[in-house]
């Protein structure tokens, strides 16, 4: 059985993300998404704030099962490759602030400059 993220960490991530899915803004059926998943080279060492996002259950499931949505996730920093650094790779929040942020490991986020891939 996978180790569960502590309730205090979960609550602080939800607070940082305004208790809403970074993709669609859902506030009820939410959970945490690892930007670098354990299946992509992550470990419990990556159960840190910069590697965790609030996503609704529908978006989280699509990120893992729908190739087109997974590509959207990679483009928006919701899903990272194992060589990417969650501390320096911005994440795009499509709702609320509608802006890219870098995430730190003290439950903060800072507005980032977004470099559009391929530009």
pLDDT tens digits for 67-101? Answer: 999 999 999 999 999 899 999 999 999 887 788 99
Contact yes or no for 56/32 (Cβ under 8 A): no
Residue 58 placed within a domain: yes
**C-alpha to C-alpha distance for 95 and 20, rounded to whole angstroms:** 8
Listed as ranges, residues in the chain with pLDDT below 70 are: 1-3, 39-45, 115-119
Q: Please tell me the total count of domains within the chain.
A: 1
Expressed as residue numbers, the domain containing 62 is 7-106
In a domain, 70, yes or no: yes
Give domain status of residue 22, yes or no.
yes
Helix (H) or strand (E) holding 111: strand 109-111
Is residue 33 within 8 A of residue 60, CB to CB? The reply is yes
pTM for the whole structure = 0.85
Q: Nearest to residue 90, comparing CAs of 76, 102, 104?
A: 102
Residue tagged 């320096």 (tokens): 88
Evaluate whether residue 37 is within a structural domain: yes
């Amino acid at each position: 059985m996978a180790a569960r993220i502590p309730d205090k960490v979960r609550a602080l991530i939800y607070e940082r993300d305004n208790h809403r899915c970074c993709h669609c803004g859902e506030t009820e059926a939410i959970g945490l998404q690892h930007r670098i998943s354990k299946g992509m080279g992550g470990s419990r060492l990556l159960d840190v704030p910069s590697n965790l996002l609030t996503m609704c259950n529908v978006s989280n499931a699509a990120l893992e099962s729908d190739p087109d949505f997974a590509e959207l996730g990679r483009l928006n920093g919701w899903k990272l490759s194992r060589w990417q650094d969650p501390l320096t790779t911005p994440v795009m929040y499509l709702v609320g602030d509608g802006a890219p942020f870098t995430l730190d490991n003290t439950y903060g986020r800072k507005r980032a400059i977004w470099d559009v891939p391929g530009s």
